[in-house]
Amino acid sequence: MKVTDLYIPTLREVPADARLVSHRLLLRGGFIRMVCAGVFSYLPLGLRVLRKIENIVREEMNRAGAIEVLLPALSPGDLWKQTGRWWSFQPPPLKLKDGAGRDFLLGPTHEEIMTDLAAQDLRSYRQLPFTLYQIQAKFRDELRPRGGLIRAREFIMKDAYSFDADRASLDRSYQAMYDGYVRIFERLSLPTVICEASAGSMGGHDTKEFMLVCDEGEDTLFLCDKCDYTANAECAQSHRPEPTHVKDQLGERDLVETPNARTVEEVCELLGATPDQLVKTLLFVADGKYVAALIRGDRELNETKLAGHLAATELRMANESEIEEVTGAPLGFTGPVGLPTHVRIVADHDIAAMHDFVVGANQADAHFVAVDVGQDFEVAEYADIRIAMEGDPCPRCEDGLLMTKRGIELAHVFKLGQKYAEDLGCVFADEEGKEVVTTMGCYGVGVSRIMSALVEQYADENGIRWPLAAAPYEATILLLDNEPDLAAIADRLCADLVAAGFEAVIDDRDERPGVKFKDADLVGYPLRLVIGKRTKGEGTVEVRRRKDQEERVVPVAEVVAAARELAAGA
């Protein structure tokens, strides 16, 4: 194969908004082109990389016993309405109507269609377990797509769904997928960190994410500096403080005026207090019922944790009119003292260790000081509902402290349980003929995102350094002089490399040597062979490994052997 027969439009400059290294290099190297924000075309080199990744994923899914299918990208709205996700899925799906006015959406994920497919054919426990998977485009209406393929509106994903008779069988299916994911990232030379995570809009439990630690990643990870505890910021646990002994003499609470002081900073400045002496009361609506979440003034609430604790399908902050209706006060002055009995009070564990603190008074321009739990109000329950912070004690070991890193989510495994099967009637008859709801698991891999992750992991100042398993071509032969004799050597070497199992391409363009060298580094071929004056004068070829620039100059007859040796470390 010759470069002049291919379509590889490399660029010297890229748009200024391409901030991530992977975004810039995939554009410059001629792998992708942006159609509009968050939507990309894959050019020949990009498609070759994508197919390499897909094939590794496919091989490991098949090895794990999963069966490939292909579902439509267009999902009927009725299925999503049955599960309730037509209204609640985040980020919102791209919705549309057909000519008859029926609701559809472009699938952001395929739990509904896959469960409905299984429900149509599943009859008996004898058909279980089985796992179905597909590799297909997904669509999510990201308001701010960014990072090229890292956060796109249209992306390629592998999603798999296991169907089991019970929890024990699900555990085995889950482990098979988990082990398959470990092998996928080993084969792609991507060093992933496996962390606890939230299932988000998918629902489920026993959720794990496979993350690539990367300074430019959009996710925050918490890792213990002493043990192997690792978690996404959405679910990282906070160490429960030791309860403070109740004082013998509790001070009387006092109502103080705080005109226009709505924020923690404003209240602290007015009262001469510090944020850790305040308790914020945040009013939420959880599945139609009011919940007051109490958090220390210097902490931030974690809505994912709160929703998980409440087992809430839908959780949102109360609006200003709802706050005034429930508390009798405007936004900024809500507090736990005197709340109506139908408001469920959930306090973070930090609150159990506090005394004589400041809260909103449920009156305009007023706060209470010297407030205590038990004396002034009651807490229905305590829970870990705050965002973890760097330096927090590890929730798992005694001596560790949490540290933060940035990361890119590459894959996600979780146990769905029976939610979708129950909503969509995916049932089977057990050994006694009794109807049982199927137990499910869900397993996703961001195929197109992996392409960007590989670039983030292996780029240098000159371009991409693809690992051999994902490279568009494993070797490029730079023909620096198109003399017939040298061109014949290039053709013969290319044929020999192909016969030896390499994918090779000859750069036969009428370009200066410097351009060819720069493009070879930019595109990131793992091996580079140079045919030029040295070949003509000495009969030797320069073979260089892109990964570490290790180079060998060998006779033409030894090129394939040298390539094999260098490829072993690529």
pLDDT tens digits for range 186-196? 999 999 999 98
Count of alpha carbons within 13 Å of 490, Cβ hemisphere only?
28
* Torsion 264-265-271-276 (CA) sign: positive
Quick one: 165 and 229 in the same domain? yes
Rounded CA-CA distance 211/233 in Å is 12
At 199 the pLDDT is 61
Q: Who contacts 235 (Cβ-Cβ below 8 Å, separation ≥6)?
A: 196, 197, 198, 207, 302, 304, 305, 308
Quick one: 497 and 549 in the same domain? yes
pLDDT at 451 over 80: yes
* The residue to which tokens 């069988």 are assigned: 169
At 90 the pLDDT is 83
pLDDT at 544 over 90: yes
Q: How far apart are the first and last CA of the chain?
A: 22
| Domain annotation covers residue 389 | no
| Domain annotation covers residue 373 | yes
CATH of the domain at 134: 3.30.930.10
Q: Who contacts 265 (Cβ-Cβ below 8 Å, separation ≥6)?
A: 275
Name the H helices within 7-69: 21-28, 44-63
Instruction: Count the Cβ atoms, other than its own, within 10 Å of residue 419.
Output: 18
If you average pLDDT over residues 496-517, what whole number do you get?
95
| Domain annotation covers residue 140 | yes
| Domain annotation covers residue 31 | yes
Instruction: Assign 569 to helix, strand or coil.
Output: coil
Quick one: 373 and 504 in the same domain? no
pLDDT at 304 over 60: yes
If you average pLDDT over residues 35-61, what whole number do you get?
97
pLDDT at 180 over 80: yes
| Domain annotation covers residue 260 | yes
Quick one: 170 and 38 in the same domain? yes
Quick one: 114 and 171 in the same domain? yes
Amino acid in the structure at residue 246: V
At 109 the pLDDT is 94
**275: left (phi > 0), else alpha (psi -120 to 50), else beta?**
alpha
Instruction: Count the Cβ atoms, other than its own, within 10 Å of residue 359.
Output: 24
CATH of the domain at 549: 3.40.50.800
Instruction: Assign 161 to helix, strand or coil.
Output: strand
Q: Write out pLDDT tens, residues 205-246.
A: 688 999 999 988 889 999 999 998 999 988 888 776 665 544
Rounded CA-CA distance 518/507 in Å is 12
Concatenated DSSP letters of 349-404: GGGGG--SEEEE-SSTTEEEEEE-BTTTB--SEEE--B---TTPBPSSSSS-BEEE
pLDDT band at 531 (very low <50, low <70, confident <90, very high): very high
If you average pLDDT over residues 65-72, what whole number do you get?
97
pLDDT at 173 over 50: yes
Q: How many structural domains are present in the chain?
A: 3
If you average pLDDT over residues 367-372, what whole number do you get?
94
Rounded CA-CA distance 562/527 in Å is 10
Residue 479's closest CA among 532, 515, 517? 532
- Strand pairing category for 74-76 and 103-106: antiparallel
Q: Who contacts 468 (Cβ-Cβ below 8 Å, separation ≥6)?
A: 474, 526, 567, 570
| Domain annotation covers residue 350 | yes
Which element (helix H / strand E) includes 340? none
pLDDT at 408 over 70: yes
Residues spanned by the domain of 275: 254-383
Quick one: 439 and 366 in the same domain? no
Quick one: 146 and 208 in the same domain? yes
Q: Write out pLDDT tens, residues 267-283.
A: 999 999 999 999 999 99
pLDDT band at 447 (very low <50, low <70, confident <90, very high): very high
Among residues 352, 383, 414, the one where a domain terminates is: 383
Concatenated DSSP letters of 302-337: -HHHHHHHHT-SSEEE--HHHHHHHHSS-TT---ST
Quick one: 559 and 438 in the same domain? no
Q: What mean pLDDT is reported for the chain?
A: 92
Quick one: 288 and 377 in the same domain? yes
pLDDT at 204 over 90: no
DSSP letter, residue 7: -
C-alpha dihedral (471, 472, 476, 478), degrees to nearest 10: -130
Report, in this order, helix, strand and coil percent for the chain, each rounded to 5. Answer: 30, 30, 40
| Domain annotation covers residue 391 | no
At 243 the pLDDT is 57
If you average pLDDT over residues 151-171, what whole number do you get?
96
pLDDT at 95 over 60: yes
Residue 252's closest CA among 346, 371, 171, 366? 371
Quick one: 61 and 198 in the same domain? yes
The fraction of the chain above a pLDDT of 70, given in percent, is 96
**203: left (phi > 0), else alpha (psi -120 to 50), else beta?**
left
Quick one: 61 and 193 in the same domain? yes
Rounded CA-CA distance 293/309 in Å is 11
CATH of the domain at 263: 3.90.960.10
Strand partners, 360: 367
pLDDT at 449 over 90: yes
Highest mean pLDDT among 90-104, 136-150, 162-176: 162-176
At 251 the pLDDT is 64
Amino acid in the structure at residue 132: L
Instruction: Assign 505 to helix, strand or coil.
Output: strand
Least confident among 171-175, 437-441, 532-536: 532-536
Rounded CA-CA distance 219/551 in Å is 38
| Domain annotation covers residue 364 | yes
If you average pLDDT over residues 332-354, what whole number do you get?
94
Quick one: 66 and 190 in the same domain? yes
CA 7 to chain centre: 32
Q: How far is CA 55 from CA 187, 190, 373, 497, in A?
A: 11, 16, 59, 22
